[in-house]
C-alpha cells in the first residue's frame, strides 16, 4: 500500500507538533454575509453568535453592499454563471475587457489584464516578463505569492532589507550589468500595515535604470486621496511599471486579480503568463460586480474618507489604552503580543465579548512576532469601534499587558 500506516502516522505526528506548539489554525464558520456584523458558529457545533468583525479585508465595506450585490445578480442574468474556458479560448466576455479598461483608468496605467487571483497574477507576471539575464530585487517582507512568483522565474532572485533604501541602492549598484533590474515591493505590507517608500524607490529606479513592481493588494481602492493606491499616496502615479492587485479585498472582496502597467508588459502576460493561459477566466457574476465597484469608488471618495476617519479613531483608542501597536497610517492596525498562545487566548476572550479578531502567528508572521491584526472598514460605524475598543481594553487588563512594551510582554509570556 502506497499510503501506509507509517506514512499516515508521520503526517499525524507533524500535525500534532503544530498543535503542541500552539500554531494550529482552526477555521471558524461564518453563517452570514461578510460585513461589520457577522454571525459565527465557533467552535463548530456551538450556537451561532453575532459578533463585530475586526479582521476582514473588507476595507471599503463593499463585500455585501446592496449595489454590488444587485450588479452581481444582473451580471449573472445577463452573462450566465461560468465561462468554462480560459481567457484566450472562449473565456473573454465584453465585461472582462470593460473591467480591464476601468482598472487601467482608475490606476492610471497603460493597460490591464485580469487573472483568477492576485496570487495567480504574481505567479505569472515575473516568468512572462523576465529571464536569466535579469535580476529581481525584492523587499524582504513581500507577500508569499510574490516570493513564489519570483521562484518560478529564471531571473536572479535578490532582496533588500525591509524598506532599507541604502541596502536597495547597494544592490542596484551591484547588478548594473544585468539586462533589466526590477525593484519588487508590496505597496502596503499586509502584516505590519506600513507603506513602501515608493517615492524614494522610484528615484532610485531612475538613477540606476530599474523597473518598479508594486503589489498593491492592501491599498487599491482606498489609499491616496482618490483611493488609487500607494502610488497615489506617495505621489508617483504613472511611475510604476508593473502593478499587481486583487479584487478580493477592498474592491468587492470576491476574487480576481490583475497585472496593470506598461502596455507591452501587460501584453506579454496575455501571451505568456501561465495562470492566464491555463486557469479559468473570472466568472461573469464577479466581473459584473467588480465593474460596479470601480464605478462606485470613481464617483465618490466617501467610503475611503470614512475608512480614514475610522482608522484614526481606532488607532488613537488602542494607543491611549496602552497597547503595543505597529506604527502606520493604514487600516491595518496590528496589536503586538509576540507569543502565539497569548494571541490565540486573547482572540478567544475577545470572541466571548462579541469581537471577532484572529491571532496571527508563525508561519503567517515570523516566530516571536505573534499579534492580533485588526483591520478597519468603512462598514464600521462608531458604535462598532467603541464596543470593540471596550472589549480590547477589558482583555488587555486581564492579561495585564496595557502600557507594556515588547520586552515586558515577552518576559511575561515568552516568545
Ligand X SMILES: *Cc1c(COP(=O)(O)O)cnc(C)c1O
So which residues are the catalytic ones? Answer: 190, 218, 249
Question: Do 195 and 187 contact (CB within 8 A), yes or no?
Answer: yes
For residue 149, the minimal CB distance to ligand X (Å) is 10
Smallest gap, in angstroms, from Cβ of residue 146 to ligand X?
7
Q: Which three cell numbers stand for residue 73?
A: 445578480
By C-beta, is 120 or 134 nearer to ligand X?
A: 120
- Write the interaction track for ligand X spanning residues 277-296; mark x where CB under 6 A is met and - where it is not: --------------------
Q: Would you say 246 or 344 has its CB closer to ligand X?
A: 246
> Is 281 in contact with 199 (CB distance < 8 Å)?
no
Contacts with ligand X, 139-158, as mask; x by CB under 6 A: ----x-x-------------
> Which residue of 61, 149, 229, 257 would you call a contact of ligand X, by CB under 6 A?
257
Q: How many residues does the chain have?
A: 415
Distance between CA 179 and CA 172 in Å, rounded?
A: 12
* Choice from 91, 124, 193, 248 touching ligand X (CB under 6 A): 248
Closer CB to ligand X, 183 or 391, in the complex: 183
CA atoms within 13 A on the CB side of 227: 26
- Sheet containing 37-41: give its strands across: 29-30, 37-41, 48-53, 355-356
Which residues, numbered 84-123, are part of the site for ligand X (CB under 6 A)? 117-119, 122
Q: Which of residues 174-233 bind ligand X (CB under 6 A)?
A: 186, 190, 215, 217-218
Considering beta carbons, is residue 145 or 347 the nearer one to ligand X? 145
The residue whose grid cell reads 519588487 is 184
Q: Decide: 377 and 52 in contact? Cβ < 8 Å.
A: no
Judged by beta carbon, residue 118 or residue 128, the one nearer ligand X is 118
Taking the complex as a whole, how short is the minimal distance between the CB of residue 162 and ligand X, in angstroms? 14
CB of 224 to ligand X, least distance (A): 17
Nearest distance, CB of residue 244 and ligand X, angstroms? 7
Q: Does residue 358 belong to the site contacting ligand X (CB under 6 A)? A: no
Q: 3-class DSSP state for residue 17?
A: helix
Check if the beta carbon of residue 254 is closer than 8 Å to that of residue 286.
yes
3-state SS string for 336-400:
EEECHHHHHHHHHHHHHCCEECCEECCCCCCCCCEEEEEECCCCCCHHHHHHHHHHHHHHHHHCC
111-115 and 48-53 as β-strands: parallel, antiparallel, unpaired? unpaired
Calculate the alpha carbon distances from 390 to 317, 342, 403 in Å. 10, 19, 16
- Min dist CB 215 to ligand X, Å, is 4
Site for ligand X in 289-328 (CB under 6 A): none
Residue 103 or 118: the one with the smaller Cβ distance to ligand X is: 118
Q: How many residues bind ligand X (CB under 6 A)?
A: 14
- Long-range contact set of residues 18-23: C-beta below 8 Å, sequence gap at least 24: 21/340, 22/340, 22/341, 22/344, 22/361, 23/340, 23/361, 23/362, 23/363
Query: Which one of 246, 291, 311, 339 is in contact with ligand X (CB under 6 A)?
Result: 246
Pick between residue 190 and residue 343 the one whose CB is nearest to ligand X.
Answer: 190
Where does 115-229 have alpha helices with state H? Answer: 118-129, 144-151, 165-174, 198-207
**Nearest alpha carbon to residue 374 among 146, 28, 23, 36:** 36
Q: Which residues bind ligand X (CB under 6 A)?
A: 117-119, 122, 143, 145, 186, 190, 215, 217-218, 246, 248, 257
Amino acid at each position: 500500500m502506497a499510503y501506509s500506516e507509517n506514512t499516515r502516522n508521520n503526517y499525524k505526528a507533524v500535525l500534532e507538533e503544530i498543535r503542541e506548539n500552539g500554531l494550529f489554525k482552526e477555521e471558524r464558520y461564518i453563517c452570514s454575509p461578510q460585513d461589520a456584523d457577522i454571525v459565527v458558529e465557533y467552535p463548530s457545533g456551538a450556537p451561532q453568535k453575532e459578533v463585530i468583525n475586526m479582521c476582514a479585508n473588507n476595507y471599503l465595506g463593499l463585500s455585501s453592499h446592496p449595489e454590488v450585490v444587485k450588479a452581481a445578480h444582473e451580471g449573472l442574468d445577463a452573462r450566465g454563471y461560468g465561462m468554462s474556458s480560459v481567457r484566450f479560448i472562449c473565456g473573454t466576455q465584453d465585461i472582462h475587457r470593460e473591467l480591464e479598461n476601468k482598472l487601467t483608468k482608475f490606476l492610471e496605467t497603460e493597460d490591464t489584464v485580469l487573472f483568477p487571483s492576485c496570487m495567480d497574477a504574481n505567479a505569472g507576471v515575473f516568468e512572462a516578463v523576465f529571464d536569466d539575464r535579469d535580476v529581481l530585487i525584492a523587499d524582504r517582507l513581500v507577500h508569499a505569492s510574490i516570493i513564489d512568483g519570483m521562484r518560478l522565474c529564471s531571473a536572479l532572485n535578490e532582496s533588500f532589507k525591509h524598506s532599507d533604501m541604502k541596502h536597495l541602492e547597494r544592490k542596484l549598484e551591484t547588478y548594473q550589468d544585468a539586462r533589466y533590474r526590477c525593484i519588487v515591493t508590496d505597496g502596503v505590507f499586509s502584516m505590519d500595515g506600513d507603506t513602501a517608500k515608493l517615492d524614494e524607490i522610484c528615484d532610485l529606479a531612475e538613477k540606476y535604470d530599474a523597473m518598479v513592481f508594486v503589489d498593491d493588494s492592501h491599498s487599491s481602492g482606498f489609499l491616496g486621496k482618490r483611493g488609487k493606491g500607494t502610488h497615489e499616496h506617495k505621489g508617483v502615479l504613472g511611475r510604476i511599471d508593473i502593478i499587481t492587485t486583487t479584487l478580493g479585498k477592498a474592491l468587492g472582496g470576491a476574487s480576481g486579480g490583475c497585472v496593470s502597467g506598461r502596455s507591452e508588459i501587460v501584453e506579454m502576460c496575455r501571451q505568456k503568463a501561465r495562470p492566464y493561459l491555463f486557469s479559468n477566466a473570472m466568472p461573469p457574476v464577479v466581473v459584473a460586480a467588480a465593474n460596479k465597484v470601480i464605478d462606485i469608488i470613481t464617483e465618490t471618495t466617501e467610503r475611503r474618507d470614512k475608512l480614514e476617519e475610522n482608522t484614526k479613531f481606532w488607532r488613537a483608542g488602542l494607543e491611549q489604552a496602552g497597547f503595543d501597536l505597529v506604527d502606520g497610517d493604514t487600516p491595518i492596525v496590528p496589536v503586538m503580543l509576540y507569543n502565539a498562545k497569548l494571541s490565540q487566548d486573547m482572540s478567544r476572550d475577545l470572541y466571548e465579548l462579541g469581537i471577532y479578531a484572529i491571532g496571527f502567528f508563525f508561519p503567517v508572521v515570523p516566530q516571536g512576532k505573534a499579534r492580533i491584526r485588526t483591520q478597519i472598514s468603512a462598514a464600521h460605524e462608531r458604535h462598532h469601534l467603541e464596543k470593540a475598543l471596550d472589549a480590547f481594553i477589558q482583555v488587555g487588563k486581564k492579561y495585564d499587558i496595557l502600557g507594556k512594551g515588547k520586552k515586558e510582554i515577552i518576559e511575561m509570556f515568552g516568545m
